[in-house]
Amino acid sequence: MLPLINAVPGLVWAYHIMPEAGRAERLPVDCPPEALQGGPGFVWLHLNLADVHVSAFLDSFPGLTDAARAALTTHDTNATLMADDRLLFGTLVDFQREFDAATRDIGWLHFVLSDRIIVTTRLQPIRSIDPVRAAIEKNASRYTRPLQIFEALVAEFQRGIISTVLELTDELNVIEDIVYDSELRDERRRLAPVRRVVVRLHRHLRTMLALMRRAAAADDEDKPAGLDDVVDRLTNRLEAADNDVYALQERARLLHEEIDSKLSSETNRHLYILSLMTAFLLPPSLVTGFFGMNTSSLPFAGGIGGTAYALAAIVLSILAAWWLLRRAGIL
């Protein structure tokens, strides 16, 4: 079957959101680009960057600056947020989603919004998209402008972080119970993935917070109306999530140090035992080495009872080593 020439390339779905009417109309997959313009409310367009024709479609999309078009098609794995010419655009951090299961892998959601449209693009499925879409279908009247979609996407990412923190907390609880058990077990291999996820989340959250503050500091004529209020609310959300992530990071670090300390103590104990064994066996080794020399006139070489005398010398040397270690305070 030949592709529809007039259809929007890479279209995952599109919604015409009419808050005054309280409904969101899902546009057909083969809708022409003209259907995205005009009418009351605004349009949310979600595209898949795996389609190679998306870039050419966005080049001819009206109302976008060159920087905004570049933000929608970039493959850079860096979070960005910029306000220019009443447009808000950039790349948001989010979790990837595989089929119906969310993952802890980081994904990237590119977006551009104006007062009449919001365009989002992605290469892999993103976890926050579907909950926000479901919320719009349920109550479209809550979303009166595209900026609120942006706020909902970031807020949903924050909820995903909280869910991940709770899951990681449960994993740390299990590891902690094992570590503080009487039996020593090396749980660093299980702890490493937890620390890796937490460190990555903390880094991305700090980046997002810095980008939010920079976007809010842009000139008023460049940023969309109401951006300052949205940034204030999102900053509070992200800071709260970052505090939880940082606390979890510190807990994982302390737990790792506790494991290292216990393993170091166990290693030192083993070395201590080996050192004692060496100290006790060194004098008998000297005795047996002395009697093992193939020289003349060795004591007890002639007559009977030589072996018993040698054994007595070995025992006495062990007792002497024990006495010296006790006197030195080692035992």
For residue range 293-330, what is the model confidence (pLDDT) as tens digits? 666 666 766 666 667 777 777 788 778 777 777 776 66
Joined together, the tokens standing for residue 8 give 């929007």
Phi/psi at 152 (nearest 5 deg)? -65, -35
User: Is pLDDT larger for residue 68 or for residue 181?
Assistant: 68
Residue 18: half-sphere exposure toward Cβ, Cα within 13 Å: 10
On the question of pLDDT at 263 being above 80, the answer is: no
What is the percent of the chain where pLDDT is above 90? 38
On the question of pLDDT at 130 being above 80, the answer is: yes
pLDDT value, residue 306: 67
Instruction: Measure the CA–CA gap between 314 and 281, rounded to whole angstroms.
Output: 9
Instruction: Measure the CA–CA gap between 165 and 246, rounded to whole angstroms.
Output: 10
Instruction: Measure the CA–CA gap between 309 and 316, rounded to whole angstroms.
Output: 10
DSSP letter, residue 306: H
Which residue spans of the chain are classified as CATH 3.30.460.20? 11-262
What are the C-alpha distances in Å from 148 to residues 86, 237, 271, 298, 302? 15, 15, 64, 99, 104
Cα diameter, the chain: 121
pTM: 0.78
Spatial contact of 20 and 145, defined as CB atoms under 8 Å apart? no
Which segments of 100-145 does DSSP mark as H helices, in order? 129-138
Handedness of CA 245, 251, 257, 260 (dihedral sign): negative
* Best CATH choice for the domain 11-262 from the list 3.40.50.880, 3.30.1360.30, 3.40.390.10, 3.30.460.20: 3.30.460.20
On the question of pLDDT at 5 being above 50, the answer is: no
